């Protein structure tokens, strides 16, 4: 969790699994970079079944939009943060970039 008054941190290359919540940015924090993390199963299925009203999530961004960088994380659930399609981080983007450089753009007819 990024607590109030906690600014300009880098949260990178971590694995956050099976907690009540994953990574949370609280209101007022800024300048933090959250990238290249695996954040999944927060809360774990067992906890969700036992306490269905619990609103746990993998990444929750309650900070002012645009004040923090949240990029290239693997997650299943998020609030105000992107969760990419499940797969290895960066694979699709790198393949698309390589295809375009070769003139092999799969999105062009």
Q: Is residue 44 part of a domain?
A: yes
Contact between 71 and 50 under an 8 Å Cβ cutoff? The reply is no
Structural domain span for residue 81: 10-101
Q: Is residue 78 part of a domain?
A: yes
Q: Is residue 3 part of a domain?
A: no
Average pLDDT over residues 1-10: 86
For residue 40, what are its two tokens? Answer: 């999944």
Q: Is residue 75 part of a domain?
A: yes
Q: Is residue 109 part of a domain?
A: no
- For the stretch 11-48, pLDDT in tens is 999 999 988 889 999 999 999 999 999 999 887 766 55
Ramachandran sector of residue 15 (left: φ over 0; alpha: ψ -120 to 50; beta: rest): beta
Q: How many domains does the chain have?
A: 1
pLDDT confidence of residue 104: 58
């Amino acid at each position: 969790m990024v607590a109030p008054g906690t600014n300009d941190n880098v949260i990178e290359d971590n694995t956050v699994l099976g907690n009540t919540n994953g990574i949370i940015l609280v209101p007022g924090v800024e300048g933090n970079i959250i990238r290249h993390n695996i954040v999944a199963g927060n809360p774990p299925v067992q906890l969700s079944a036992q306490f269905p009203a619990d609103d746990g999530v993998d990444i929750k961004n309650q900070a002012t939009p645009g004040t923090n960088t949240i990029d290239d994380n693997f997650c299943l659930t998020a609030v105000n943060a992107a969760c990419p399609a499940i797969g290895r981080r960066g694979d699709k983007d790198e393949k698309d970039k390589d295809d375009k450089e070769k003139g092999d753009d799969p999105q062009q007819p």
